[in-house]
Structure 1
Amino acid sequence: MDWKKLLTPKRLGKTEVENLQFDRTPFQKDYDRLVFSSPFRRLKDKTQVFSLSTNDYIRTRLIHSLEVSCVGRSLGRIVGEAIVKKYDFNQDGLRASDFGDIVFAACLAHDIGNPPFGHSGEDAIRTGFESWYNTVNHVGEKLLSKSQEADFDSFEGNAQGFRILTKLEMPPKKGGMQLTCPTLAAFTKYPRESLLSEPTLNCYSGRSVKKYGFFQAEKDLFAEVAETVGLIRRHDNAAWWSRHPLAFLVEAADDICYSIVDVEDAHRMGYISFDKTKELLNVIANKDIQEHGESNTEIVKRLRALAINKLINEASDIFLKHEEDILSGEFDKDLLSLSTYANHLQEIGKETRSAVFQHPDVVSIQIAGYEVLGKLFAEFVNAVLHNSKKGNLVYYMLPKEYNDPNPDEDTYNKILRVTDYISGMTDSYATSLFQQFSGISLG
C-alpha cells in the first residue's frame, strides 16, 4: 500500500475534486460532520459499561468516543510526524496533522453503530433474529441467502456503523455523509463481509478477521472505499481486504481507553477498591505518588492520565517498528498485544471482568437488554413481514423513514430497516418502548 493513496482526500459518493481549504482540511470536515450528526448525539444515552447509571461521572458511549478520538489524534500525529519525515512527504503536501485528523474522525465514529445496552445489545439482536428465523424456517420459508443470514446471525455494531456513515445519514445522496475514503477505511477495523468459508480463510487468524465490518447491503460501497485508498484484496472471490494502516491506531486508541478508564469508572462506582485501582494503574504509570492532601479520586485521575500517555507512546513505537509490514499487509495484530504491558493489560481485563462485568448490577441490565431488544425485534420484524391485526398496529409505531412501503423491497432489506431502527435507539427509549409494548407503561 502507498501512503499517498491511503491519504487521498477523495470523498465517497463524490466525483468532483473538493476545493481544498487549508484552514479546514477534508479530514477535519469529517470530524465536524460526525459531531453534528444525530447518531453521534444519541451516544449520550447508550451504555459504555454501566447502563442507565444515575452517577453522572460515569462514561457513556458519547464520552468514551470523545476520549478515544483524543487518544487517536495523538497516536496519528506521532506516527504521522515520523512517516512524513521518513518519506519527505512535506513536498507532497502531506502533513502529520492529516494522519492525526483521520484517526481523530475515525475514532469519534468507532461506536456510532452500537445498539442500546452495549455489546449485550448486539447479542440480543443476534438472539432475537435466531429465535425468529428458526421459527420461520420451521414452517418451510427460506427467506434469506446464506450471506444475508450471516449478517443477522452475527449482527455487528461495526457493520451498522459503516451503514450509518455511508447510507442512513444524509440520504439519499450516494455515500451518505460522504466522508473521505481514508476516514471510512480507518474506521473499518474488520474489512471483510460476514460470511467467509473455511477454505477462503484458509486458517488465517489475523486480528482483522475477528469480526466483520459491513453488511451485504454496503459491500459495494466498501469495495469502492478499498479501491480508492488502495487496500490489498486478500481473496479474489470474497469481500475481504487488508486493513488501512491507520485502523491499527483506531483500534489501539479504543483498547487504551477502555482498558484504563474501565478501572477508573469501576473505582468511582465502588466495584474496585482504591488500593487495587492504584496498584493496577501504577504498574503502567510507574509514578511514585506523593499524596499531598489529594483525594483518592484525584490520585486515580492522575494515574489514569499517566498510564494512557505511556501506552500512547508505546503503541506509536510499535506501529512505526512494523510500518513496512503493515503496508505490505503482512502485519495483522493489535498493537497492544506487542506492548511490554501486554500481560498486565490482560490482568486488568480479568480484574474488570470479575469485579464489574460479572457484578449482578451490570449483569441484570444485560439480561434486561436481551428481553427488551429481543421483544422489539420480533414485534417489528413480524409487523413488516406479516399481516396480522396486532402487526398492523405495531407497524404504525415505526417512524416514517423505517416504514415507507416499497413493493420491490426484499425480505433482507425489510429486516435491515428494523435493525436500523432498533440499533439506533438509546437505552432509555428502548426501555420505554418495551414497557409500552408489554403493557407495563401506557405512554
Structure 2
Amino acid sequence: MNWKTLLCEKRRRGFSTTSVSTDPRNEFQRDYHRIIGSASFRRLQDKTQVFPLDRGDFVRTRLTHSLEVSSFAKSLGQMIFRSLVRYKKDEELSWQDIEKICSVLECAGLVHDIGNPPFGHFGEDYIRDWFRRNIPQLELGGKRIEDMLSDQMLNDLYNFEGNAQALRLLTKLHFLVDENGMNLTYTLLNTIIKYPVPSTGINKHSGNIKDKKMGYYYADTEIYKDITENTGAVDCRHPLAFILEAADDIAYKTADIEDAVKKGFITLPQLLAELKKNTDKCADKGELEEYSKAAAKLEEYYANALEKGISSPEQNAVQRWIIYVQGVLLRCAAFGFTDNYDAIMAGTFPRELLAVSRGNVLAGVLGEIAYNYVFRSKEIYKLEIAAGEIYEFLLNKLTRAALVYDTEYSGSAIEQRIMRLVSENYIRAYKFAAEGKSEEEKLYLRLMLVTDYVCGMTDGYAQKLYRELSGIE
C-alpha cells in the first residue's frame, strides 16, 4: 500500500462541485462539516456509552465518547506522521499528507460509533441473540426463514455488528440528496472498517485482529469492494484503521474508569489495590517501569488533592490521573505504529497497536477493572434487563411485520400499522436496494430494514416507542 492511493478523495457520487479556488478545505475537511451537521451524528447525544437508561449529566454518551476519540485520533496522527516524515521513514510522505491524514482521523473518530444501536454494547449483543433465538422458528409462506437465506445473510444477522452498520448508514441510510448516504470520501469510509471480512469470514482464532468481527454486510459488498479497490487496502486493514482503533481503546478504557469512580462503582483505594496487584503481568522491565509509574502517579495526585484541601480528593485525583494515563497510552500507541510501520503498510500486521507497546498491561488492566466493577455489577444488570425488555418487544413486533411487508402475503392490521412507523428514509433505502432482487434477497433486506430502524433509534426514542406501543403511561 502507498499513501498516494490510501488518501483517496473519491466519493460515491463523484467529486464535490465546489470550486477549489473558492473553498480552501481539502476533501477530508469537507467530510467533517457533512458529519457534524447531520441528524445521525446529533442522535449520538442520546445514546449511552456504558450506562443504559442513565440520565446523569456526567457519564459519557456516544457523542462525548466520539468527540474524545476524534481528538485522540487526530493527536495520534500528528505524533505518528510527523515522526515518520521527520526521520524519513517513508519517502513518499509529505507534510501536506499529514494535514489530510489528521483530517481523516478526526472525522473517523466522530463516526466510528454512528451505526451502534441504543443502550450501549448491550444492544449489539441483544440483537445478535434475538436473531439466533428466533430466526429458526420464523416462517414465510410455509417455508422456514432459515432455509430461505444464504449462509452470509444469516450470519449477518447472527453476528450483527455496529461497525458494519456504520458503513451501511454512512453510504446508504443517511438520505439527504440521494441513495449515497453522506457521500463521504473513500479513505474516511475505509478507515472505519476495522474488520475487512464478511460475516462468513469471521475467525476469532486466526491470530489476526482483522478477522475478529465482520466489517460489512452482504447487502453492502459492492460498496465495500469499490472502497477498498480504490484505496488499495484490499483484504487488509487501511493503516489509519489501526490508529482509530487505538484512539477508541484509549478513550473508552480511561473514560470507563473515570465514570465508574464518579458513580461510586469503585473507590480510589480499590483502584490502587487493583493496579498494584497486577504488576506481575508486565513482560519486561520497560513495561513494568511504565506500569509502576502510572500507579505511583495516582497516589501522588491523591496526596496533592488532600494537601490542597480539595472537597472531593478522590475524584480530583482520578480525573488528573486519567489525563496522565491517556498521554502515556497515546505515546505507546504512536510507538506501536511507527515501530511496525513496514508490516502495517504491507497489510500483514496482525495486532492492536497498544498490544505491542509498553502500555499493553496498563490498558488491559484498566479494561479488566471496568469489567469486574462496572459491567458485572447488579446496577448495570438491572439497567440491561430493562433495555432487554425494550429490545425483545420492538424486535418481535418489527420483525413479524417486516416479514410480510412488500410481499403477496397480507399482514394483520397491526403489522401494517407498525411498518408505517418505520422511517421513510429507511423504507426508501429498502425499496431502492430491493429493486430487481430475488424474493430471498428481498426477505433478507426486509430483516435488515428492522435492524436499520432499531439502530437509528436513540435510547430515549426506543424507550418512548416501547411505552407507547405497550400502552404504558
When normalised by structure 2's length, the TM-score is: 0.84
Matched residue, 1:12: 12
Query: How has the CA–CA distance of structure 1 residues 172 and 217 changed in structure 2, closer, same or farther, with 3 Å as cutoff?
Result: farther
Deviation at 1:137, TM superposition (A): 5.1
Q: Map residues 429-440 of structure 1 onto 2, 5 A cutoff.
A: 429-440=461-472
Q: Map residues 30-429 of structure 1 onto 2, 5 A cutoff.
A: 30-85=31-86, 86=88, 87-89=90-92, 94-136=96-138, 140-141=143-144, 142-170=147-175, 173=178, 175-196=180-201, 204-232=206-234, 241-277=235-271, 280=275, 283-284=293-294, 287=297, 288-289=300-301, 290-291=304-305, 292-294=308-310, 295-296=312-313, 297-386=315-404, 387-403=411-427, 406=431, 408=435, 410-429=442-461
Bigger shift: residues 73-82 or 18-27: 18-27
Query: How has the CA–CA distance of structure 1 residues 427 and 225 changed in structure 2, closer, same or farther, with 3 Å as cutoff?
Result: same
Q: Structure 1: how far apart are the matches of 2:229 and 2:176? A: 23
Q: Structure 2: how far apart are the matches of 1:163 and 1:431? A: 24
The one-letter code matched in structure 2 to 1:193 is P
Asked whether the equivalents of residues 115 and 165 of structure 2 are also in contact (C-alpha less than 8 Å), the reply is: yes
Q: Structure 1: how far apart are the matches of 2:449 and 2:202? A: 27
Structure 2 stretches of 5 or more lacking a match? 276-290, 405-410
SS at structure 2 position matched to 1:116: coil
The one-letter code matched in structure 1 to 2:116 is N
Deviation at 1:244, TM superposition (A): 0.3
SS at structure 2 position matched to 1:440: coil
Q: Structure 2: how far apart are the matches of 1:217 and 1:256? A: 32
- After superposition, the C-alpha distances for 1:7-58 in whole angstroms (9 at most, x for unaligned) are 1222233167975467422111112211111111111111101122232011
Q: Structure 2: how far apart are the matches of 1:75 and 1:208? A: 20
Matched residue, 2:283: none
Bigger shift: residues 63-72 or 292-301: 292-301
- After superposition, the C-alpha distances for 1:114-135 in whole angstroms (9 at most, x for unaligned) are 0011111112212222333111
Query: How has the CA–CA distance of structure 1 residues 18 and 196 changed in structure 2, closer, same or farther, with 3 Å as cutoff?
Result: farther
Q: Structure 1: how far apart are the matches of 2:85 and 2:181? A: 31
Q: Structure 2: how far apart are the matches of 1:197 and 1:262? A: 28
Deviation at 1:275, TM superposition (A): 2.7
Q: Structure 2: how far apart are the matches of 1:355 and 1:211? A: 26
Structure 1 stretches of 5 or more lacking a match? 233-240
Asked whether the equivalents of residues 85 and 95 of structure 2 are also in contact (C-alpha less than 8 Å), the reply is: no
Q: Structure 2: how far apart are the matches of 1:217 and 1:293? A: 59
Q: Structure 2: how far apart are the matches of 1:318 and 1:378? A: 45
Bigger shift: residues 22-31 or 423-432: 22-31
Asked whether the equivalents of residues 7 and 229 of structure 1 are also in contact (C-alpha less than 8 Å), the reply is: yes
Asked whether the equivalents of residues 52 and 387 of structure 2 are also in contact (C-alpha less than 8 Å), the reply is: no
Q: Cα RMSD between the aligned structures? A: 2.4
Bigger shift: residues 50-59 or 283-292: 283-292
Asked whether the equivalents of residues 69 and 105 of structure 1 are also in contact (C-alpha less than 8 Å), the reply is: yes
SS at structure 1 position matched to 2:201: coil
Deviation at 1:424, TM superposition (A): 0.8
Bigger shift: residues 309-318 or 81-90: 81-90
Query: How has the CA–CA distance of structure 1 residues 286 and 317 changed in structure 2, closer, same or farther, with 3 Å as cutoff?
Result: farther
When normalised by structure 1's length, the TM-score is: 0.90
Q: Structure 2: how far apart are the matches of 1:19 and 1:227? A: 27
Query: How has the CA–CA distance of structure 1 residues 89 and 2 changed in structure 2, closer, same or farther, with 3 Å as cutoff?
Result: closer
Asked whether the equivalents of residues 80 and 97 of structure 1 are also in contact (C-alpha less than 8 Å), the reply is: no
Asked whether the equivalents of residues 285 and 310 of structure 1 are also in contact (C-alpha less than 8 Å), the reply is: no
Kindly, what percent of the aligned residue pairs are identical?
35
The one-letter code matched in structure 2 to 1:412 is Y
Q: Structure 2: how far apart are the matches of 1:417 and 1:53? A: 28
Deviation at 1:197, TM superposition (A): 7.8
SS at structure 2 position matched to 1:311: helix
Asked whether the equivalents of residues 69 and 109 of structure 2 are also in contact (C-alpha less than 8 Å), the reply is: yes
